[in-house]
Amino acid sequence: MTPRSRVGMRMHHEGSDDMNIASIRVAAAEYSRVAAANADFNRKRNAEHLNSFGRKLRTLKVGDLVKIYAPPSAQEARRRKRKVKHLFQWKGPMRIIAIKGSMMDLVSVANPDKHYSRNITNVRVWKGDEPKHTLMEESSTTAEQPTKESSEEQQTIAGTSDDVKIEPVELNELLFIYDTDTKEVDLVRVTEVTDKMIIVRCYGIQTKNLNSAKLTPVSVDKFGRTLLHKPRYSDKAAPLVWEIDNEDIPDLVKGRNLKLCRNGTMTAATKKALRSIRPKIELHRY
C-alpha cells in the first residue's frame, strides 16, 4: 500500500512488511506537536475575539473622571445604623492622576486631600456631572455664615423651590415633594441616590389633624389599592415609590431635613416647615 502522508511515509519501508515501532513513535510525536500548535492558535484567536467586546477601561487616561469600588466598613454601617449591603459600594467622582500598568492613582474631586490607588478592575467610568465646589470651598462658605441658628433655618426648608438650599440629597433624608397631579405635597423618604435620579418612598396619612396624624409607608396591593398598614402576604403589595430626575429636584422639593417622632407623628419643626410653604399647599391624604 502506498503511503498518502509524510507521517505515513515514516512508518513505511519498501521491501518489508514488518511494522517499524520507532517510526510509529516519531509519527505520534509529530501528531501531538501539530495538535498542540493548532490548540494554541485557536486559543489565541478566541481570546482576541472575546477581548474585542470588553469594557473600554483600557482607553482611560490621566485626567478622566471615574468612580471606584470602595465597600463601606462594618464600623460605618454601625454608625449609620444600616446593613452593609444597603450602603453604596462605589465612590466618585475621582480624577485619575497616574496610571502604572493595571494600577491607577486617583484623587477625590470633592475632597482633594483624599487619595486612592485601585486596580483597573475596580474602576468604572463616571457618568455624572463634575462637582462645581469642593468640600474645602463649602466649609469656607459655611464658616462665613453668621450664626448656627441661621444655618439651621436654611437647612430646615421653607417656602418655594427658590428658598430651598440646593445641596446633594442624602440617603434616608425626609423631603416634602410637590405632586403635580394632586397639587399637594407628599412626605417621602429617599431610598436610593444615583448619578441621574433619586428614588423615594411615599409616607401617607388619612386624617386632617396634623397634630395626631401618624405617617406610615404607603404600599400598593395587587388590585392597585393603597395600603397604610403593614401589608399581609396575601396582599402581594409593593412599596409606592417615585423616580425623580436630579434636574427636577429644585422645582419639586418643598422641604428638606424633616424629622418624625418615634410614633410616626411630625415634629414641631416639620409641621412649621409645612405651614410655611408659599403658596399654601396641603399635605396629601390617602
CA distance 194 to 174: 17
- Mean local confidence (pLDDT), 145-155: 48
d(CA 56, CA 150): 48
Per-residue CA distances from 58 to 123, 125, 136 (Å): 11, 11, 32
Contact 189, 283 (CB under 8 A): no
Question: How many helical (H) and strand (E) elements, i.e. helices and strands, does the chain have?
Answer: 7, 14
Residues 6+ apart with CB under 8 A from 146: none
Query: Does 278 have pLDDT greater than 60?
Result: yes
181 CA to centre of own chain: 29
- Show the CA angle centred on residue 252, arms to residues 227 and 285, nearest 5°: 30
Predicted confidence (pLDDT) per residue in 10-32, tens digit: 555 555 556 788 888 999 999 99
Say how far apart CA 43 and CA 62 lie, in whole Å.
Answer: 33
Pairing of strands 115-119, 103-108: antiparallel
pTM value?
Answer: 0.43
Element (H, E) at 186: strand 184-193
pLDDT at 9: 55
CA distance 162 to 166: 9
Q: 3-state class of 125 per DSSP?
A: strand
Phi, psi of 132 (to 5 degrees): -80, -20
Per-residue model confidence (pLDDT) at position 58: 66
Cβ-based burial of 83 (10 A; exposed 0-12, middle 13-18, buried ≥19): exposed
Q: What is the pLDDT of residue 153?
A: 45
Please give the Cα distance from 169 to 190 (Å, whole number): 8
Q: Report which listed range, 100-104, 185-189, 224-228, 274-278, is most confident.
A: 185-189
DSSP state of 253: E
pLDDT at 156 over 50: no
Burial label for 56, CB within 10 Å (0-12, 13-18, 19+), is exposed
Q: What is the mean pLDDT of residues 188-206?
A: 90
Whether the per-residue pLDDT at 111 is higher than 50: the answer is yes
| The three cell numbers locating residue 147 | 450664626
Report the C-alpha gap between 47 and 39 in whole angstroms.
Answer: 12
